[in-house]
Amino acid sequence: MTDADVPAQTRTTCFELKGGMLTLTLLELHYFDLDAFETTLREKIRQAPGFFRDLPLVISLDKYQRPAAELDFFQMIGCCRRHSIQVAAVRGGDEDVKRLARNASLAWLPSHAAKNASAEAVPPAAQDHDQAPAAVAVELPQTQVPEAPASTSGSATAARVITQPVRSGQQIYAPEGDLIIMAPVGAGAEVLAAGHVHVYGPLRGRALAGVHGDVNARIFCQSLEAELVSVAGHYKISEDLQGSCWKRPTEVGFRNNELSVRPLD
């Protein structure tokens, strides 16, 4: 059927393009050796098999110091697919890396440093805060702590308050400050904030604070039952959390170069 066969009053646009906030896992590549790559990947999957199943992955080259000629994205894609992980894009690198990524049918994204420099070059009045760009909120493996930007978490006007339960499949994002949820967060839900995340109820989904790199951000909840918690890209999954704080009021923060989980009561 063509447009000519459809009455004008019933025609609708085939699709729309919108900005959105997506949570993707970032694999920080230091060097590439296929055997070492697969061994490390298997070890990560062994720690949390359910977390990695059908996981979309972005390969980051921000910390890659070797020649582009040593990169073999086809081998990386094949290795990841053998473990039910889908490589979606490559971030960073020069024109040679961009060419290699495109030859492997991968999207190419500018490096973190390049994006920051581009954002600083745009006058504040010209920036669109209504459209949240796609962002990577979880890093794999854990890397050095990024320099924290000036925190906006102390600004009451920047906080976003949610009074209804956050259900499975929902994603709630506070792009400029704290996220305050006055209800439970269900399994399969995701809550993200540039600043702190407060959950006045059970936290059963994924909570990510300091998504722009603020290591001073924290997560507070009345009952820790989370699938994953993350501060500034450093994370712990459910298997790591089921200790003294499980199902208790909890604070998650970044201290002494590691993610700290401690009870509030």
Q: Tens digit of pLDDT for each residue in 31-57?
A: 999 999 999 999 888 877 777 788 889
- Alpha-carbon dihedral angle through residues 65, 70, 71, 74, given to the nearest 10 degrees: -170
- Position 138 confidence tier, pLDDT thresholds 50, 70, 90: very low
Give the helix/strand (H/E) hosting 121: helix 112-121
Instruction: Give the domain ranges of the chain.
Output: 23-140, 156-263
Sheet containing 234-237: give its strands across. 171-174, 190-193, 206-209, 228-231, 234-237
Residue, of 137 and 5, whose pLDDT is higher? 5
The per-residue pLDDT for 21 is 64
Give the helix/strand (H/E) hosting 57: strand 55-60
Is this structure's pTM higher than 0.75? no
Does residue 243 contact residue 219 with C-beta atoms inside 8 Å? no
Q: Is 166 helix (H, G, I), strand (E, B) or coil?
A: strand
In CATH terms, is domain 156-263 a member of 2.160.20.70?
yes
Does residue 88 contact residue 70 with C-beta atoms inside 8 Å? no
Q: Is 80 helix (H, G, I), strand (E, B) or coil?
A: helix
SS3 content of the chain, % helix, strand, coil (to 5): 25, 30, 45
Q: Which two tokens stand for residue 164?
A: 């209804």
* Beta-ladder partners of 32: none
> Is residue 204 over pLDDT 90?
yes
> Is residue 9 over pLDDT 90?
no
Q: Which two tokens stand for residue 127?
A: 């920036």
Cα separation, 168 vs 55, in Å, equals 17
The per-residue pLDDT for 152 is 40
Class for domain 23-140, per CATH?
alpha beta
